[in-house]
Structure formats: C-alpha cells, structure tokens
Amino acid sequence: MAENWEFLRQVPVFADLSPEELQHIASLAIFRRYRKNMYIFMEGEPGDAIYFVKKGAIKLFQVLEDGREKILHFVREGEIFAEVLLFEGGPYPATAETLEDTEVGIIRNADMERLLSRHGEMAVKIIKVMSRRLRQAQEHIRDLALKGAYGRLASTLLQLARDYGTPREDGVTIDLNLSQQELASLIGTSRETVARILSDFKRLGAVGVERQRITILSPQKLAGWD
C-alpha cells in the first residue's frame, strides 16, 4: 500500500494532493499486471474506470473497417488513460494493449467522481490531458492531409522524442519498443514504406535503430522533412 500511494505522487493528476488523500486514492485503486501484448480493455466494451500506468507502456488504437489498426497514442508511466469516460460515459472508444510487461492502476469512475467533487484541481488537470491529446490528434490529421510519408514519419518521430525521449550521448532515444508495423499504423502507410524511409533516415545520419528503439541523432535533419 505504501509503495502505491508514494507512486501516486508522480502522477501529475494527483501531484497536489496530501499524503492522506493519496493513501485514500491508493485504497480505491486496483493494481493489475499484464504481460506484453495483452489487452487491458477492448474498443466497444462498457467503460467504468479510469486507468494510469504504474510501470511499462501501452498503446491505444482503433480497428478500421478494412481491419487495419490505427494507433491513437501511447501511454507511459505516470500517465492516465480512458479519462474521457469520466465525462461522457459509454463504451471504451479504443483498445488498450501493452507494449511491454506493464502494471496499471484502475479507479472506478464512481469513486473518481467523488474525488473530483472534492478536488476541482484534479478535474482541471484531467481536462488538460484531454486537451493535449485532442490537439495532437488534430495535428496528426493535418499531417495526414498535407504531408507525404517522409514528412509524416519525421514529424511523428520528433513528437515521440519530445514525449518519450531519453537523452543519450549521441542523441535522444524514444523510450518505446516500436515495430515498423506500429509506426506504419501511426502515420497511415505500409510497413514496407516505413522500412524504406527509416533506411534513408539512417543513411542520412538522422536516426539510429537498435532492437526496435529509435534514437534521434540529428533533429535538424529530420526537421528538414517535417
């Protein structure tokens, strides 16, 4: 229990709460562990909880009419997801799948609503998360409409580096294990196209790739395609 409530200090939505309030939230939360490539919930299932990642990473995606996967965004440690159901209810609008072994915290919406009624600042923070994700979705739609595959991949890699990057001596490594198929799903193209573009980016010295981890070696060179 102590480990859980101390971790909650690191979740921005809960950061301003007192130790007693954090302990209360920890008592409400259910913590579950999932292996890599397991589903946490499926698109269309009844939604009744808000989630946060304690350890690991997940992707949220929808399945298009032709069966292709459309990745919406990624969630890492300390981030919340499924927060939209707090305000509108209904089924989950996307599927959540783990990218690696992951532990998540789950708080039922009814419990969360009672917390928000006492702590309005938490509601503001959740709305900010939703606003940021909406803005990213709008930018992504713009990129799909206006940019070619090279520009879309460059823009996506730069954004992922800003959101999930870890500085290294030679650049910034995106702290997500991403397959070429997942990158293709992100930018709306084929895996073969992503493989060809990554090869060109590597040849130009813009990125390095090792075991599905991408390092941005030269943001300036990528920005030339953005």
Q: Where is the domain boundary, 136, 170, 188?
A: 136
Last residue of a domain, one of 88, 117, 136: 136
141 in a structural domain: no
The CATH number linked to 218 is 1.10.10.10
- Answer positive or negative: Cα dihedral of 111, 116, 118, 119: positive
Number of domains the chain contains: 2
CA–CA separation, 219 and 153 (whole Å): 13
- Quick one: 98 and 166 in the same domain? no
DSSP H helices in 75-218: 85-88, 109-118, 120-146, 149-164, 180-187, 191-203
Provide the CATH number for the domain around residue 19: 2.60.120.10
CA 222/CA 158 separation, integer angstroms: 8
Domain coverage including residue 91: 6-136
Per residue in 134-165, pLDDT (tens digit) is 777 777 667 666 678 999 999 899 989 998 89
Q: pLDDT tens-digit profile of 194-208?
A: 999 999 999 999 999
- Contact yes or no for 19/59 (Cβ under 8 A): no
Residue 142 lies in a domain: no
- Mean per-residue pLDDT over the chain, rounded: 86
At 13, the pLDDT band (50, 70, 90 cuts) reads: confident
pLDDT in tens, 67-101: 888 888 899 998 889 888 877 778 998 999 999 99
Q: Is the pTM of this model over 0.85?
A: no
Categorize the per-residue pLDDT at 181 as very low, low, confident or very high, splitting at 50, 70 and 90. Answer: very high
